[in-house]
Structure 1
Amino acid sequence: MSITRKLVTGAIFATGLTAISAVTASAAECIAPADPGGGWDFTCRTVGRLLTDLGIEDSSVQVTNMPGGVGAVAFANVAGKRASEGELLVATSTVGVTQIAQGKYPGGVDVMRWVGMLGTDVGVITVPADSEYDSIDDLLDALKADPTSIPVAGSSGAGGWDHIRLLMLADAAGMSGEDYKAIRWVQFDGGSPAVTQMLGGQVGAVSTDLGEIAGFVESGDIKILAALSDEPIPAFPDAPTAKAQGYDVTGYNWRGFYTGGDVSDADYQAWVDKLKALYDTAEWKEAAEGNGLITVWRGGDEFETYVAEQAQQMEEISRSIGVIQ
């Protein structure tokens, strides 16, 4: 076992995370570190299906849901038990890297090998279709008047990426640090469960990724108050951006994969090549854009550098808004 893996294995128990028993991968497997229905589940299932259907991967890709700690349980499991398994991928995103940057995983980004990203999701602020709030101004004005008046939910914990995006809007709206920290935040294990609870009246708004809740938008059950993108989203061109409403805030969430830190160079490069081959297909573009993703590729060394830089940026943002000291 490498020194890094020894340190991480120790950290698993030090942080109270439970390592799941090792599973020997006889075929390709993708771990979605959340319950079915969320963005990581979508990433694993869509990419796995297309890899098989298009003949890029010889066998079907098994999807394993492993929720817990906003990805920390899966991270601990791979680092401590499956670090050298070359057939294994784990879905992750800006959400996961934010958790790492805030010290909420048992190890840093250098513990894993970062394979590639195929697209980026767009953050959205949503409310029920019959909500009294018709614009992001309406919601933020209500929060400014009483930060505790509207519970807001997302798929990350307090200080996670979904929460940070809301706080960035609150900051842009002129709320003070103490006021926007008083906003009631509720965590669910995925954007879809958060929206389901919102429709049941448990929370008043949801901050999450469009890809996780696109079906609720299409069905007309919810409305988007603000898309946190530079330009309108191609799949939902009528969704107003925060920028168009006077708030200079964007909140992208890339979708990609890591594998264990002890995976061989050959196995690592094979995954990079397979994902790039998938990215270049019309089928991936159609699947991604149909779920509100913007297709973009970073892989191999370029992606590893990007992840390290983003972790540093997330740490700086987290400190600037008081999430970590």
Structure 2
Amino acid sequence: MTTIRTGLRRRAAIAASVPLLVLAATGCNKSGGDSAASGPVKYPTKSLQLMAPAAPGGGWDITARSMQKSLTDGKLIDQSVEVYNVPGAAGTLGLSQLVTKNRGDAHQLMVMGLVMVGGVVTNKSPVKLDQATPIATITAEQEVIVVPANSRYTTLKQLMDDAKANPASINWGGGSAGGTDQILVGLLAKAAGADPKAMKYVAYSGGGESKAALLSGDLTAGVSGASEFKDLVATGKVRALAVSGTTGVDVGAGTPAPTIKESGYDVELMNWRGIVAPPGISAGEKAAITALVDKLHASEQWKQTLAQQKWDDFYKSGDEAVAFFKSENERITGVLGDIGLAK
């Protein structure tokens, strides 16, 4: 039952010390845009608008604001960077705005990721992710499963035993319906021998809302990216039961949380995030945006951000990013069907 509540290395040397990127545009537009370009492209030439298609406090918002800080503090560009939020429907409202209202505007970029791939499917979005212009994947992050500090659950096995025996007794909460968090709950249920379709999952449009619900007692367990709960884990308000990667990581308690596999369930899942641009931009504009993100990825500021946020470096740009986006769309659609969230 689902309740929805509103809510950069290969081209790092390019213009490495020049704030304003100037690239020669050659060939046809491979970005899906419909305008040709010739001659040099200066970028950016005005304020860069970076959309987080979710409410403040969540993973996309944190990623967008971390990019903003690295770009400006590192003086990687000589223009301002503005972050704004367009929450709703697993990011598909923001995607719709990017594809329609922002079409052809190379100074409009959007953070997206695995959650949006699933959201397009589960929300039956009329606007598809392949209508946007792929730029890069930038990070991957482990998911973490947490419970309030006063919860009787001290291990993931205890929680999943009850979820299997009495699914209605466990209120799960996390990000948008069909996103990484709910996919993880479904995969856990399958691994534990429970019915994924019977799991009670409450979907929130931003991390701030799910945190409040967890602390108020509305939720039995919360699921999100490790960076989103690290403050609550560090202050002792919630307890981390397990993380979803191949190795345990410290999500704020001072010691690594066990992995889901170490807890007895054959499940691994990483929440990746990336950057897309609107359709209708030129090949030269796409190349200039990609070079800027390459430059960001190679910067010391961004390396520090990865360490501070405990994000994995998951960088793919250019044709590699295009191929990855396509393969992920196919994979996640299949997973959603397996757990009853897609036809």
1: CA distance, partners of 2:127 / 2:175? 21
Query: What residue in structure 1 maps to residue 188 of structure 2?
Result: 169
Segments of 4+ moved more than 6 angstroms? none
Q: Any stretches of 5+ residues in structure 1 without a counterpart? A: 6-24
Cα distance in 1 for partners of 2:231, 2:201 equals 23
Residue 248, structure 1, aligned to residue 266, structure 2: yes
The alpha carbon displacement at 1:35 in A equals: 1.3
1: CA distance between counterparts of 2:287 and 2:232? 37
User: Does 2:236 correspond to 1:220?
Assistant: yes
1:101 Cα deviation from its structure 2 partner: 4.0
CA RMSD, 1 decimal: 1.8
Provide closer, same or farther for how the CA distance between residues 104 and 131 of structure 1 changes in structure 2, counting only shifts above 3 A.
same
The offset of 1:104, in angstroms, is 3.0
> Are 2:192 and 1:192 equivalent residues in the alignment?
no
Amino acid in the other structure paired with 2:192: A
One of 79, 84, 95 as aligned partner of 2:99? 79
Alignment partner, residue 76 of structure 2:
56
Deviation at 1:192, TM superposition (A): 3.1
SS at match of 2:219: coil
User: Aligned match of 2:217 in 201, 209, 228?
Assistant: 201
Cα deviation for residue 26 of structure 1 reads 4.3
CA pair 101-308 structure 1, distance change in 2 beyond 3 A: farther
Q: 2:19: which partner in 1?
A: none
In the alignment, the residues of structure 1 paired with residue 295 and residue 198 of structure 2 have an alpha-carbon distance, to the nearest angstrom, of 46
User: What residue in structure 2 maps to residue 287 of structure 1?
Assistant: 305
SS at match of 2:168: coil
Identity over the aligned pairs, expressed in percent? Answer: 30
Match of 1:156 in 2: 176
Whether contact under 8 Å (2:92, 2:127) holds in the other structure is: no
In structure 2, which of residues 108, 122, 129 is the aligned counterpart of residue 109 of structure 1?
129
Q: 1:171 is matched by which residue type in structure 2?
A: K
Shift of 1:238: 1.7
Q: Is the 8 A contact 1:75 1:105 kept in 2?
A: no
Q: 1:192–1:213: 8 Å Cα contact kept in structure 2?
A: no
In the alignment, structure 1 residue 275 sits paired with structure 2 residue 297: no
Following TM superposition, by how much is the alpha carbon of 1:88 offset from its aligned partner in structure 2, in angstroms? 1.1
Post-superposition shift, 1:161?
Answer: 2.3
Compare 65-74 and 25-34 and name the one that shifted more. Answer: 25-34
What displacement does 1:48 show?
A: 1.2
- Paired position in structure 2 for 1:40: 60
User: What SS class does the counterpart of residue 273 from structure 1 fall into?
Assistant: helix
Determine if contact 2:172/2:220 at 8 Å carries over to the other structure: yes
**Contact 1:151/1:205 (8 A) holds in 2:** yes
In the alignment, what sits opposite 2:276?
Answer: 258
In structure 2, the residue matched to 1:22 is none
Which amino acid letter does the alignment assign opposite residue 190 of structure 1? G
In the alignment, the residues of structure 2 paired with residue 102 and residue 311 of structure 1 have an alpha-carbon distance, to the nearest angstrom, of 12
What does residue 14 of structure 1 align with?
Answer: none
Q: Is this contact kept in 2: 1:227–1:240, CA < 8 A?
A: yes
State the Cα distance separating 1:316 from its structure 2 match: 0.9
Alignment partner, residue 321 of structure 1? 339
Alpha-carbon contact 1:228-1:249 (below 8 Å) kept: yes
1:27 matched to 2:47? The reply is yes
For residues 153 and 83 of structure 1, the distance between their equivalents in structure 2, rounded to whole angstroms, comes to 34
CA distance in 1, matches of 2:163, 2:226: 22
Give the superposition deviation at 1:61: 0.4
Q: Which has the larger helix fraction?
A: 1
Could you tell me whether the CA contact under 8 Å between 1:30 and 1:61 is conserved in 2? yes
Whether the 8 Å CA contact 2:250–2:256 is kept in 1: the answer is: no
Alpha-carbon distance in structure 2 between the residues aligned to 1:260 and 1:101: 20
Distance 1:140 1:27 in 2: 48
Does residue 121 (structure 1) correspond to residue 141 (structure 2)? The answer is yes
* Structure 1 residue 103, shift from structure 2 partner: 5.7
CA distance in 1, matches of 2:269, 2:72: 32
Q: Please, which runs of 5 or more residues in structure 2 have no aligned partner?
A: 1-31, 34-44
> What SS does the aligned partner of 2:292 have?
helix
Which is worse superposed, 140-149 or 282-291?
Answer: 282-291
- Matched residues in 1 for 2:309 and 2:46: separation? 31
Distance (whole Å) between structure 2 residues aligned to residue 149 and residue 103 of structure 1: 27
Mean CA deviation greater in 216-225 or 197-206? 216-225
Structure 2 SS opposite 1:81: coil
**1:210 match:** 226
How many positions carry a matched residue from both structures?
A: 299
1:126-141 to structure 2, matched below 5 A, reads 126-141=146-161
> Any conservation in 2 of the 1:48–1:62 contact (CA below 8 Å)?
yes
